[in-house]
Amino acid sequence: MALQGQVAVVTGAGQGIGKAIATRFASEGADIGIIDVNGEKAQATSEDIRRIGRNALVSVADVANFHAVEAAIAKIVGELGRLDILINNAGIEKRAPFLEITPEDWQRQLDVNLSGTFFCMQLAAREMAKRGYGRIVNLSSVAGLIGPIDLAAYGAAKAGIVGLTRAGALDLADFGITVNAIAPGPIETELMLGVWTAEALRERPQHGAIARFGTVDEIAASALFLASPESGFITGVTLSIDGGAAAAGAYMVEKYRRRKASGKPIGA
């Protein structure tokens, strides 16, 4: 029970990675504040958390709206009593060739993924600073570490999160708050299924050293590590949980060619 008696806010906990993090943290003893635009899915997660035996509170809010996040965090702190952990997980991704990205799609991906992360960080940190303790974990992506294809807005926002994580780590250390990021590789969730073609879904996992998709539980485990009290000397770090994709970079192209040429089932 690494998080016994703590309160964690998880944004985008209605499904996918956020839901896995919220339920894992509840099973470690934390009460959970959920901020999500999808009220129905957020409610379903909150029911899962109550079945685990912890308290859960849903705030339906868009993380890109500063005042909506402000009200959501005030409500969560008011009802759950404190705020120890923030997981900035809410995110959107829209694939488009560079020459065809619309100003609206560019702006929305920056607003939700980057500004939303900053708004939640700032508002949660104001609460955490009062008690001199906090753990913030931001969801970046392998797309923020190496150049993604047809994902310029998403990749730029996720790279921005790496910089924001470093800046937050320096600015918030004096308040007892650590700030770290996780950069997942391909994880099988609705977000990923929504932006990849069937062919990409077959091929893409083969481009990591470990030739499979990651699981939401593997991301939840790394979030728990960074959010736990024992990780107090880790701050400003972006941890890749990607089966070696970022480590391999261009060398993976060669490894992938050899895998294919071997005729053996890839990723078996």
Ligand X SMILES: NC(=O)c1ccc[n+]([C@@H]2O[C@H](COP(=O)([O-])OP(=O)(O)OC[C@H]3O[C@@H](n4cnc5c(N)ncnc54)[C@H](O)[C@@H]3O)[C@@H](O)[C@H]2O)c1
- Scan residues 96-135 and list those touching ligand X (CB under 6 A): 112, 116
Output the smallest distance, CB 132 to ligand X, in A: 28
- Scan residues 189-218 and list those touching ligand X (CB under 6 A): 189-192
Active site residue 256: no
Q: Is 36 in the site for ligand X (CB under 6 A)?
A: yes
| Residues making up the chain, counted from first to last | 268
Secondary structure of residue 88 in the 3-state scheme:
strand
Q: Are strands 134-139 and 177-184 parallel, antiparallel or unpaired?
A: parallel
Nearer to ligand X, 129 or 191 (CB): 191
Query: Which one among 21, 30, 90, 114 touches ligand X, defined by CB under 6 A?
Result: 90
Output the smallest distance, CB 239 to ligand X, in A: 12
Nearer to ligand X, 61 or 133 (CB): 61
Distance CA 193, CA 2 (A): 32
Backbone torsions φ then ψ of 106, nearest 5 degrees:
-55, -50
Of residues 103, 105, 104, 72, the one with CA closest to residue 86 = 72
Distance CA 62, CA 157 (A): 17
Return all residues near 204 (Cβ < 8 A) that are at least 6 apart. Answer: 186, 196
Output the smallest distance, CB 90 to ligand X, in A: 4
Output the smallest distance, CB 6 to ligand X, in A: 21
Task: Please spell the DSSP secondary structure of 26-73, one letter per residue.
Answer: HHTT-EEEEEES-HHHHHHHHHHHHHHT--EEEEE--TT-HHHHHHHH
Nearer to ligand X, 18 or 243 (CB): 18
Q: Is 179 in the site for ligand X (CB under 6 A)?
A: no
Return all residues near 130 (Cβ < 8 A) that are at least 6 apart. Answer: none
Q: Is 89 in the site for ligand X (CB under 6 A)?
A: yes
Output the smallest distance, CB 202 to ligand X, in A: 15
- Scan residues 143-172 and list those touching ligand X (CB under 6 A): none
Residues in contact with ligand X by the rule CB under 6 A = 11-12, 14-18, 35-38, 41, 62-64, 89-93, 112, 116, 139, 141, 184, 186-187, 189-192
- The catalytic residue positions are 154
